[in-house]
Structure 1
Amino acid sequence: METRRILLFFALAAVVVLLYEAWQTDYGSQPVVASSPSAQITDGQFVAPQVSADVPNSPANYVQPLGDTAVTDSATNVAPIQALVDAGNIHVVTDKFDIDIALAGGDIRRANLRAYPVSIVELDNPFPLMSTDPSNLFIAQSGLLSKSKAPDHHAIYSAEASAYTMAEGSESLQVVLYWQSDDGIEVEKTFTFTRGSHLIDVEHRIINNSSAEWSGRVYRQFQRTEPDDAGGFRLIYTYTGGVLSNEEEKYEKIEFSDMRDKDVKLDSANGWAAMIQHYFLAAWVPDKEQSNHYFSKALDDGRYTLGLIAPTVSVAAGAQAIMADKLYIGPKEQHVLEEIAPGLELTVDYGIFDLFSRPLFWLLEKIHSLVGNWGWTIIIITIIIKGVFFPLSAASYRSMANMRKLQPRIETIRERAGNDKQKMSKDMMALYKTEKINPLGGCLPMLIQIPIFISLYWVLIESVELRQAPFILWISDLAIKDPYYVLPVLMGITMWFQQRLNPKPPDPMQAKILGALPYVFTLFFAFFPSGLVLYWVSNSFLSIAQQWHITRKVERAG
């Protein structure tokens, strides 16, 4: 039995190592904050998803518009990033955003999320989800593809102002960019920001003042570089990369390695395209149900593009047409994402334990709505989980208490058997059978806790609602480690005390290994999210109380 317990402890230790590696990936380095886009931009090129052969490295070489032939680019040369930045930016401030929109193409080159500080020690520094920093490039682009002249994300727009701020009491803010060709095609690109929302309406209005029909299609894409690895050996990661959703694939991760291996070329109805970065994401969502062309591409200079192209729209001479989309730039709040597009809430990725994690998060939310503190919420859900498994745990602790009573008789069997392991095992199993004791019964509580433990870990790591959520006293962020290591030490103490309630291992080596585990686990948990350690400590206190009570009852019963 003790051997099995040790193996279970080491299995849990392996899980701890895996989770620690994931935590290191997420928290091992601080996000790069761009101090000045123009100062940080070096060289490189922006590329439009055009088919035109005279555009170098054009994504159009792999994204063939449905039913179209070659598209003529309004700019025959690809402009470097520095030139695009020199075209000027429009600074937009709302209650949710601090954003820069480039006049070159109408790209969103910088997006700071005002409601989400970089860290609890930088509360005045909003989280920079999008940036033109070459080492952490992440921008949102959209434009038009046409056989006629049309503004892609190289085109230079004009605007009525260089800065826009959402006024107090105003429910929305519109930023309109203007472009016009020499043959009478006008395009108004409008960004509409809504108070209280991270969802941006992006609209292309085509005004055909020419004498011929205009036809074209809108594309939307993200362009980014692969984030730098924090260094060191990594076993698992919180996912950062692309995701596509459509009728063919409801939820498909497109990792950077996938983009390097093979371009995505897929025609399918409905859906969306997104880039995920831990607690946050950006997603292009078409405004209506339609057939889209989904694409991805790994460019030669370390940049990646992921996006979709809408069907062709024709605009008669003298007529107008609107191509509307939605762009979400913000936190992965499940209830918000559910309302935006089907399946978008799946970007909150709980991995293989999704089956446990989603109901666990649902219950956490319900409890939090009553108590208003995520720390107390974790303690309450620990009590609930303990109550659900109480009968099973009681049976296990009863088995362990009975094993403890049998220790003198087990020692006698070991002494009689000497080096005859087979005889010792046979006599011990006979003893267990006579006393109706399951030698594996004491291991059951740990087996039960492992999936709950891992599920809660992913809830803490993936759920932005718990990011920077305080508890009490020194615990100011349940999603990061305890700064003073109080909870990990308490966890080690409770583990040590639980071992005192268990039967002593007959083998001295096993006893040494088990005796070292509280110290090993304390070291591991010192770097885990304090919310997870809070769960483990709370569970341990409840387990100690239950096991101590049952052990006393068994001992009194004789």
Structure 2
Amino acid sequence: MDEQNRNLILATALSFLVILVWFWLFPPEEVQPPVEDASVATQNVDATLPTASGTETTTTTVAPSEDVVEAGRIDIETGKLLGSISLQGGRIDDLSLLGYQETIEEGSPTVKLLKPEGEREAYFAAYGWIGLDGLTAVPTPETLWSLESGETLTVDTPVTLVWDNGEGQTFRRTISVDEEFMFTVTQSVENNGADITARPYGLLRRYGEPSDLKNFFILHEGLVRMSDGELEETDYDDIVDYTENEGRIDVAEQGWIGWTDHYWMTTLIPDPGTGFRSETRYFANRDIYQAEAVLAPMTIAAGTTSEITTHLFAGAKEWDAIRAYEEEGVEGFLDSIDWGWFFFLTKPIFWLLHTLNVMIGNMGWAIIALTFVIKLIVLPLAYKSYVSMAKMKELQPEMEALKERVGEDRQAMQQGMMKLYKDNKVNPASGCLPILIQIPIFFSLYKVIFVTIELRHAPWIGWIKDLSAPDPSSIFNMFGLFPWDAPEPTSFMALIFIGILPILLGISMWLQQKLNPAPTDPTQKMIFAWMPWVFMFMLGGFASGLVIYWIANNVITFIQQYSIMRSVGAKPDIFGNIRDGFKRASKPDADDSKSKGK
């Protein structure tokens, strides 16, 4: 076996190894099987809320009731929310997000964020009081409330619930909602008995992990909370392993706690300046995750009324809305969006992308415009690199001649190359600079495209209906000509059902590569020749928005590099190289005989 064939086999094996490792690290999402028996959600669970003092034993026991779905309800109707509040516990447990559908198909159901007990993946917000000194009868998430005022909860009409404990205390709960996703909950106690002490709380209870959990390293799903400026993101499996009180944090002034999904979030937010106990727990007997905001004890003197106000965010992680809440005083609320390690890049990149989308009106073209802006910003650094690469390209014939002279003497080859670089004032390392700059930008943009809701179900052109999803075209549907989708891709099926955008990506990388000096080592040369096509398959399952960025980046880089090379006197013959490549491919025997003659 000659050296050329051996290198070809080695490069092919390495390429497929890279693909296999990639699909092992980033496997396709598994479809979760439906839960056949939802009745387990109605079984009792001992979910207690301990008091502030470690010596006190008073608790509020929350035992789910089978009658919760049958209790009276108060409708919720706003421009963005539709649902209802259960009079049993006064729970906010039925909430759909208008404007967001589960899929892009016509008639797809609206996304349902909160669900009452008895339904699969029950998920709700509840409020209550912990009775301390002098108070034994308190409302719990099971208490049956009465409607005192209001009929339907809207932006303009709050509702008030009332409950009398029969021992001299009357509890009220007033709930209002704004035009976005923020509820305001005011709890009050009218005390007509002796002096009492009570501690208000709010909780978010989730039955099991969400079925659409991505379990992808680039995205956080699970607990998210802010505690006096410290952000914490904890996965569900880590919460399961918590020991007693491990999930407890005492917040002095500023904080919030809740559950975050890919695009949705529920968060308990005490008023700024209010201290509270932020706690998360897992109840293994019924697979329940719970986040709590337990406020400081309040003493209510006889004949007086005391109240406390907290807030509940329940909705989509829209950048504009969350930013507005942060500006109104919810400290660090923008960090509830998972910006990642490169937050110093992802935040400004998203701001620019958002601004361009508002101006252009199409997120796909906004991504291309963003790419152009980024390439313009890094052009001064890229210019020096492209000039260096142009000089190295011009030195290619001399390097080939040097290789023929020294043969297999690697030390002589290295010394000769260094002399060539020095005599021609070429720095080979400078050619890596644009790549090093692009790596964090690439990951930051990928993060933006993956986690921000603005790209969810955002169309571009023709067959690209969702920029957050992979290109749906393939040879199976004649690249979008037929109105059916390719089968669900698996690790190997993805190699067959490759879309138009990944193919364009491979071609753009191949063209750009033709401007760069080829490695002198045959193995490296062969690996570099395979790289565009390996990346074509690797990125084929990525979000279309990211592939569009990479194509645009390659095209703009090609134009920049070609223009700069021409400006410094280099004459890259791209199309000549392509013609020569086709000629060599069509006459393998002649090439082999030449190589053997040498």
Q: Smaller-chain TM-score range?
A: 0.7 to 0.9
Instruction: Answer yes or no: is 1:540 the counterpart of 2:540.
Output: no
Residue identity opposite 2:541 in structure 1: F
* Pick aligned residue for 2:540 from 515, 526, 536: 526
Residue identity opposite 2:327 in structure 1: E
Instruction: Answer yes or no: is 1:267 the counterpart of 2:250.
Output: yes
Instruction: Answer yes or no: is 1:70 the counterpart of 2:51.
Output: no
Instruction: Quote the Cα distance in structure 1 between the aligned partners of 2:185 and 2:55.
Output: 24
The corresponding residue for 1:97 is: 81
Identity of aligned residues (%): 32
Secondary structure at the residue paired with 1:272? Answer: strand
Instruction: Answer yes or no: is 1:215 the counterpart of 2:197.
Output: yes
Gap change, CA 1:237 and 1:128, over 3 Å in 2? farther
- Give the drift of 1:140: 1.4
* Pick aligned residue for 2:220 from 231, 235, 239: 239
- Give the drift of 1:482: 2.1
The corresponding residue for 1:327 is: 312
Instruction: Answer yes or no: is 1:353 the counterpart of 2:342.
Output: yes
Instruction: Quote the Cα distance in structure 1 between the aligned partners of 2:375 and 2:95.
Output: 43
The corresponding residue for 1:50 is: none
The corresponding residue for 2:167 is: 183
Instruction: Quote the Cα distance in structure 2 between the aligned partners of 1:19 and 1:397.
Output: 36
User: What is the 5 A alignment of 1:23-38?
Assistant: 24=28, 29=31
Instruction: Quote the Cα distance in structure 2 between the aligned partners of 1:264 and 1:521.
Output: 42
Secondary structure at the residue paired with 1:120? Answer: coil
The CA deviation string for residues 484-537 of structure 1, in whole angstroms up to 9 with x for no partner, is 232222111111111222223333332332222222211122211111111111
The corresponding residue for 2:463 is: 474
Secondary structure at the residue paired with 1:436? Answer: coil
Q: Which moved more, 1:183-192 or 1:491-500?
A: 183-192
User: What is the 5 A alignment of 1:117-516?
Assistant: 117-121=101-105, 124-131=108-115, 132=117, 136-147=121-132, 148=135, 149-159=137-147, 164=152, 166=154, 171-194=155-178, 196-209=179-192, 211-227=193-209, 236-247=217-228, 250-259=230-239, 260-262=241-243, 263-270=246-253, 271-300=255-284, 301-334=286-319, 335-340=323-328, 341-484=330-473, 485-516=499-530
Instruction: Quote the Cα distance in structure 2 between the aligned partners of 1:488 and 1:257.
Output: 35
The corresponding residue for 1:53 is: none
CA contact (8 A) 2:32 2:211 kept: no
Secondary structure at the residue paired with 2:528? Answer: helix
CA contact (8 A) 1:333 1:345 kept: no
Instruction: Quote the Cα distance in structure 2 between the aligned partners of 1:547 and 1:65.
Output: 65
Instruction: Quote the Cα distance in structure 2 between the aligned partners of 1:401 and 1:109.
Output: 64
Residue identity opposite 1:65 in structure 2: A
TM-score (norm 1): 0.84
- Give the drift of 1:117: 1.7
Instruction: Quote the Cα distance in structure 1 between the aligned partners of 2:365 and 2:296.
Output: 51
Instruction: Quote the Cα distance in structure 2 between the aligned partners of 1:531 and 1:17.
Output: 20
Gap change, CA 1:343 and 1:72, over 3 Å in 2? closer
TM-score (norm 2): 0.79
- Give the drift of 1:122: 5.1
CA contact (8 A) 2:388 2:427 kept: yes
Instruction: Quote the Cα distance in structure 2 between the aligned partners of 1:124 and 1:557.
Output: 55
Q: Which runs of 5+ in 1 are unaligned?
A: 48-56
* Pick aligned residue for 1:42 from 40, 43, 64: 40
CA contact (8 A) 2:41 2:122 kept: no
CA contact (8 A) 2:32 2:212 kept: no
Instruction: Quote the Cα distance in structure 1 between the aligned partners of 2:227 and 2:416.
Output: 63
Gap change, CA 1:309 and 1:19, over 3 Å in 2? farther
The CA deviation string for residues 379-420 of structure 1, in whole angstroms up to 9 with x for no partner, is 122111111111222222222222222222111221222221
Instruction: Quote the Cα distance in structure 1 between the aligned partners of 2:457 and 2:114.
Output: 20
Gap change, CA 1:150 and 1:68, over 3 Å in 2? farther
- Give the drift of 1:325: 1.1
Gap change, CA 1:281 and 1:437, over 3 Å in 2? same
Gap change, CA 1:439 and 1:86, over 3 Å in 2? same
CA contact (8 A) 1:487 1:533 kept: yes
CA contact (8 A) 2:406 2:412 kept: yes
Secondary structure at the residue paired with 2:83? Answer: strand
Instruction: Quote the Cα distance in structure 1 between the aligned partners of 2:571 and 2:472.
Output: 46
Report the number of matched residues.
Answer: 520
Gap change, CA 1:212 and 1:375, over 3 Å in 2? same
The CA deviation string for residues 255-303 of structure 1, in whole angstroms up to 9 with x for no partner, is 3233222332332212111211112211111135222122221212321
Q: Which runs of 5+ in 2 are unaligned?
A: 1-6, 474-498, 573-598
RMSD (Å), alpha carbons:
3.3
Gap change, CA 1:390 and 1:223, over 3 Å in 2? same
Q: Which moved more, 1:276-285 or 1:365-374?
A: 365-374
Instruction: Quote the Cα distance in structure 1 between the aligned partners of 2:79 and 2:468.
Output: 25
CA contact (8 A) 1:97 1:114 kept: yes
Instruction: Quote the Cα distance in structure 1 between the aligned partners of 2:363 and 2:33.
Output: 25
- Give the drift of 1:356: 0.7
Gap change, CA 1:40 and 1:164, over 3 Å in 2? farther
Secondary structure at the residue paired with 2:341? Answer: helix
CA contact (8 A) 2:51 2:130 kept: no
Gap change, CA 1:122 and 1:246, over 3 Å in 2? farther
Q: Which moved more, 1:272-281 or 1:130-139?
A: 130-139
Secondary structure at the residue paired with 1:121? Answer: coil
Gap change, CA 1:546 and 1:266, over 3 Å in 2? closer
